[in-house]
A and B are shown apart, each in its own frame.
Chain A
């Protein structure tokens, strides 16, 4: 009778809970006697024992129940906490189960997360997303719900709790190379976005200022944006190779058909469109009355730009740089194909060797890097947003 009053299912949360419960039935850890042999999947109860599996099952059921009654702030917060808790317990269990399994399976064995594990993570983030969707006025709760699981994961990683998982073993083997490729990756995306901003912002200003420049600038940046990244990398090889053959001196400074140069050129080209477009829109979107008033009360064009246009356009420009950065983190992975290095190198090597751990060793840090860059750039966007201006939705 009163049940109906409490029944307020959140579709995303319900899907999340179903996926979570479903993950329970799928293989959770994969045990291989060595790196290349076929493996066998173990379910969560088999891998972690009943005492490990029981709390997770209970938490999934709690999440399921909460998904059907997300009315009220505290119920949503409870859902957010429960899903973060599942995430943490899953990681803790994966670490300990992998350790005991590797002890019994021998020194060459490889223990890696299986479908059920990954689905459980997906389910956790569906639930976290659902619990955050309605918004929460408290910054503490907001960050607790989004970041607590990730924070614990980072601590577990740093403390070596997950070291028995095969991806971490791969990391231990590749240690120095991993750090080098990570650094290359950062240089690749950060350098090209910086160059992209240095070229793109003036281009955007130019496009906004003169109608003659607007069309060609957008034509070129839009067309290049549609070329697949692999094709663009490939397209750059012949001219750069020809150039370096014609002028051997160029080869000395690293300009060759393959390697970092074509990769950086391509990444710069990709970062142009979001930066040029956002600069243009940021300037064009300023209220005409504001510009008219500024000119009318006697600001020179330079003063108008420095004191009015630049500060008002800054948030959108920075948002363009954010888009370009996140995009470049991903695109830089492809650059490994033309010998530019970066974390993509692990991915393609993993493909070649049919070693999923190696693929993950490249892919997971790229995802983490993208999320981190997005968060940092979002903070920068907020930083350059002048007081008195509420940022419109991007």
Chain B
């Protein structure tokens, strides 16, 4: 989809990008990352020709971009930046409509598209469409920026720290929303960031740059497991193992869990729990409500007396959580295993600390 061939950019004596070659496949999210001044933004801006390369070629869909009209090229590539750059004298709806207007869509199609996009990015078209950018919060403005970039349905999206200007909590939300939108629209995305956690969370492949050179281009898992140089090793930091856990979902680690229904007869409970330390407590609908202590049960007490009630939100993780979240919850609660629930709060299984440990060492050996 996008190919950079031996691209070099010099500003006077400074070589911002040095002989960089990179290929991004269709529908992939490629994250450019590196310390400031490493040339990641310059690389991004050369793709839509806001900056012209000094030498080398950039191909989009096999076509040399230097032979295309810059405006035409840019209209087929979405562009979202950290400072958002919404046009302050236009409403939110008018901002999103700019590119469709530039490529001469019909009015009602534009109108329809604007509403659709506002919904995609989670804003109410009737409420937010007529507002001016000055009336939006930072997070809302970022979302409108992304909506504007997506407006004419470009196959490619360039994003320069699109979530950089919002607080950490909102950034997490926007990242989650980005992943959801990406799953739906399958755009080819090149995203610049300096936030490694963001890169690991969003990227199919990460390109690590150091003073204008591409030093490693690989999946997040591989970059974390096998940094090719001391620079990459230091850049990804000493908590690589922990970071890697944020790439792994809990789903494949769920094991069947022992569950006792509230008010179950003591014999049945004893049979379920066996010699185990504890079992999860569920109500008649299967929803997690706490756990049952095996030792107390074996002393001949009833299920109710041995039960420890706890809200599911406090002790369980959902099936879509990552191992990192699960581990942090285990450490927080002091549990050696953790219940997993589905979206309705029903117990679907459990995770054990030993399995998470095994997962980290598995990848270490890769």
Contacts and interface: CB of A to CB of B under 8 A. Distances in A.
A6 B85 CA distance: 50
Most buried by A among B74, B78, B87, B90: B87
A292 B132 contact: no
Given A298-B99, A387-B132, A289 B84 contact: yes
Nearest to B82: A289
Interface string A360-394: 00000000000000000000000000111110000
A34 B48 CA distance: 83
Interface in B76-115: 78-79, 81-91, 98-99, 102
A312 B133 CA distance: 14
A289 B83 contact: yes
A298 B102 contact: yes
A295 B45 CA distance: 11
Contacts of A206: none
A216 B214 CA distance: 43
A296 interface: yes
A312 B132 CA distance: 14
A330 to B, nearest CB: 33
B142 to A, nearest CB: 12
A298 B102 CA distance: 8
Contacts of B132: 387-388
Given A292-B81, A296-B74, A303 B102 contact: yes
A294 interface: yes
Most buried by A among B74, B78, B79, B85: B85
Contact of A298 (B75, B83, B85, B145): B75
Interface string B138-153: 0000000100110000
Contacts of B84: 289, 293
A389 B74 contact: no
A299 B87 CA distance: 13
Nearest to B70: A298
A295 B50 contact: yes
Interface residues of B, number: 32
A231 interface: no
Interface of A is mostly: helix
A291 B74 CA distance: 14
Given A289-B81, A289-B83, A292-B50, A297 B88 contact: no
Contacts of B102: 297-299, 303
B74 A287 contact: no
B157 to A, nearest CB: 11
Nearest to A286: B88
A388 B132 CA distance: 5
B134 interface: yes
B86 A293 contact: yes
Given A296-B74, A386-B89, A388-B134, A287 B83 contact: yes
B274 interface: no
Contact of B75 (A288, A291, A297, A308): A297
Given A289-B83, A312-B89, A297 B74 contact: yes
A253 to B, nearest CB: 43
21 contacts: A287-B83, A287-B85, A287-B88, A289-B83, A290-B85, A290-B87, A292-B83, A292-B85, A293-B79, A293-B145, A294-B87, A295-B74, A296-B48, A296-B81, A296-B85, A297-B78, A297-B99, A297-B102, A298-B74, A298-B102, A390-B134
Interface of B: 45, 48, 50, 70-75, 78-79, 81-91, 98-99, 102, 132-134, 145, 148-149, 158
Ranked 10 nearest A-B pairs via Cβ: A293-B85, A289-B83, A388-B132, A386-B89, A298-B75, A298-B74, A296-B79, A289-B85, A290-B85, A298-B71
